[in-house]
């Protein structure tokens, strides 16, 4: 059994459901300390984080990731218990196998091999690890970045181990992500009896034309790297449950996934202009989860493409699809950020798994990436 596989199994066996860590970070730090890394736990609230660094020179290459996982769901639906890592037909099963404990194991073994071969490498290597990526993400990476920024410690290149691959390992690298901007809209009306609508004001009837316009609006056309910005209503509620009561208010929750062609301020202004034009009485609350980011070119992207070609023998595709990641907190500092990890077909699902061979190859890709950047 390879070192990468053994470490992945050890990490998966720890039920680190957000924001719990269950000793995963201590296990990683125990592997990094003998290599000469300086270890710095940075815990905030209920979230465990650590920053580790090998070297004090620029440029700084950073592995970023998370030890927390989503809940496993009904255990009886799994082939084997979700926190008992099991190998079957060349696949390692367990919650977090692909998202992203397999990547964490590959990072560690790649680093061990690299520092062993190149103890006097150029620049520095760092780890930024959190236990709050799958949850609210308020006390994790964002807080560590604030700490680093306050002392002017800058990351030049950041590799996030999120599962980026689609059909085979490293066939896709995420070189950016769309921004996410959420909203809670409350449209006010006047509650009343359905038989006396002239004595009430139905907020559902008032809001529907505005919501239809929002759903039909073209926000932008995207660009070479991003698809057009999308608007989606995710929740809508009104009424008391009785069929003879006109509701007094309507609550609508919606979200934008937006490209670099627009800003969250522009989206807010356009939405509120539509609501005002329809004469709605409303309260609105916006929540920016993160702006879009893009690494269109640079040394990190070149090294990743070359490393994948060298190890896997094929070229990779660049993509900005999917949800958000903690890269959204790192990119605004000026760092080049990429996401490269195993297949994402089973993430957050029952029977999550990762290919055993993919774990070893991922470690080799990470090793080759560091070799290209730091030697």
Residue 371 assigned to a binding site? no
| pLDDT 10s digits, 76-94 | 999 999 999 999 999 999 9
Quick check: helix, strand or coil at residue 319?
Answer: strand
Is residue 66 predicted with pLDDT exceeding 90?
Answer: yes
Mark whether 36 and 173 lie in a shared domain: yes
pLDDT of residue 28: 98
Whole-angstrom distance, CA of residue 346 vs CA of residue 353: 6
261 and 350: one domain?
Answer: no
pLDDT of residue 324: 81
Strands 317-319 vs 172-174: parallel, antiparallel or unpaired: parallel
pLDDT of residue 191 exceeding 90: yes
* Mean pLDDT value of segment 205-217: 98
99 is in an annotated binding site: yes
The verdict on 285 and 304 lying in the same domain is: no
Same domain for 125 and 258, yes or no, is no
> Residue 27, SS3?
helix
The answer to whether 33 is a known ligand-binding residue is no
Which pLDDT belongs to residue 136? 87
pLDDT tens string 348-363:
999 999 999 999 999 9
Provide mean pLDDT across the span 165-192.
Answer: 97
Structural domain harbouring 277 = 179-290
Give percent of the chain with pLDDT exceeding 90.
97
Asked if 82 and 346 count as a contact pair (C-beta separation under 8 A), the reply is no
Q: What is the CATH classification number for the domain harbouring 203?
A: 3.30.70.360
Our answer to whether residue 68 is catalytic in this structure is: yes
232 and 370 housed in the same domain? no
Per annotation, catalytic residue among 20, 68, 249, 358:
68
Overall average pLDDT of the 11-15 stretch: 98
Place of tokens 């009485």: 281
Q: Does 278 appear as a known binding residue? A: no
DSSP string spanning 334-373? T-EEEE--SB-TTTTSTT-EEEHHHHHHHHHHHHHHHHHH
Q: Is the pLDDT of residue 111 over 90?
A: yes
pLDDT value for 1: 81
Instruction: Return the number of other C-beta atoms located less than 10 Å from residue 127's C-beta.
Output: 23
**Which residue, 267, 290, 313, sits at the end of a domain?**
290
Instruction: Classify 44 as helix, strand or coil.
Output: strand
- CATH code, 308: 3.40.630.10
Q: Are residues 311 and 279 in the same domain?
A: no
Do 204 and 235 fall into the same domain? yes
pLDDT at residue 362 in the model = 98
Is 211 in the same domain as 280?
Answer: yes
Query: Per the annotation, does 297 bind a ligand?
Result: no
Name the strands in the sheet holding 336-339, side by side, starting at the edge strand that comes first in the sequence: 38-41, 49-54, 124-130, 60-66, 157-160, 336-339, 172-174, 317-319
> What mean pLDDT value characterizes the chain?
96
The pLDDT of residue 323 is: 79
The domain boundary residue, chosen from 290, 323, 356: 290
- The pLDDT of residue 322: 82
Same domain membership, residue 13 and residue 147:
yes
CA-wise closest residue to 335 among 149, 163, 162: 149
Number of domains in the chain: 2
Whether residues 273 and 302 fall in one domain: no
What confidence score (pLDDT) does residue 290 get?
Answer: 87
In this predicted model, what pLDDT tens digit does every residue of 213-257 receive, in sequence order? Answer: 999 999 999 999 999 999 999 999 999 999 999 999 999 999 999
Catalytic residue among 20, 112, 133, 339: 133
Q: Are residues 275 and 315 in the same domain?
A: no
Q: What is the pLDDT of residue 370?
A: 98
Q: What is the mean pLDDT of residues 50-73?
A: 97
């Amino acid at each position: 059994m390879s070192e990468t596989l053994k470490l992945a199994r050890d990490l998966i066996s720890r039920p680190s459901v957000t924001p719990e860590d269950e000793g995963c970070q201590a296990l990683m730090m125990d592997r990094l300390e003998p290599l000469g890394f300086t270890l710095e736990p940075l815990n905030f609230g209920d979230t465990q984080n650590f920053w580790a660094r090998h070297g004090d020179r620029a440029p700084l290459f950073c592995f970023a990731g998370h030890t927390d996982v989503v809940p496993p769901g009904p255990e009886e639906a799994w082939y084997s218990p979700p926190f008992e890592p099991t190998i079957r037909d060349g696949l390692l099963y367990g919650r977090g196998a692909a998202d992203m404990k397999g990547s964490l194991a590959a990072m560690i073994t790649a680093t061990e091999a690299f520092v062993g071969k190149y103890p006097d490498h150029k620049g520095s290597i760092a780890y930024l690890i959190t236990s709050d990526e799958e949850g609210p993400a308020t006390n994790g990476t964002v807080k560590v970045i604030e700490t680093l920024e306050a002392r002017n410690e800058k990351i030049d290149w950041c590799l996030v181990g999120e599962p980026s691959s689609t059909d085979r390992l490293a066939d896709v690298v995420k070189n950016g992500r769309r921004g996410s901007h959420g909203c809670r809209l409350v449209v006010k009306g006047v509650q009343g009896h359905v038989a006396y609508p002239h004595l009430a004001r139905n907020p559902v009837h008032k809001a529907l034309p505005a919501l239809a316009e929002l759903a039909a609006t073209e926000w932008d056309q995207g660009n070479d790297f991003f698809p057009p910005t999308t608007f989606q209503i995710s929740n809508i509620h009104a009424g008391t449950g009785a069929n003879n009561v006109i509701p007094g208010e309507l609550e609508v929750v919606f979200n934008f996934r937006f490209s670099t062609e627009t800003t969250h301020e522009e989206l807010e202004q356009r939405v509120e202009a539509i609501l005002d034009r329809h004469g709605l009485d409303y309260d609105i609350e916006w929540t920016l989860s993160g702006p879009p980011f893009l690494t269109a070119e640079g040394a990190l992207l070149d090294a990743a493409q070359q490393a994948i070609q060298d190890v896997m023998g094929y070229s990779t595709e660049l993509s900005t699809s999917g949800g958000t990641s903690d890269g959204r907190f790192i990119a605004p500092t000026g760092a080049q950020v990429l996401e490269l990890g195993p297949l994402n077909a089973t993430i957050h699902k029952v029977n999550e798994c990762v290919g055993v061979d993919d774990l070893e190859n991922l470690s080799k890709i990470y090793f080759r990436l560091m070799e290209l950047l730091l030697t």
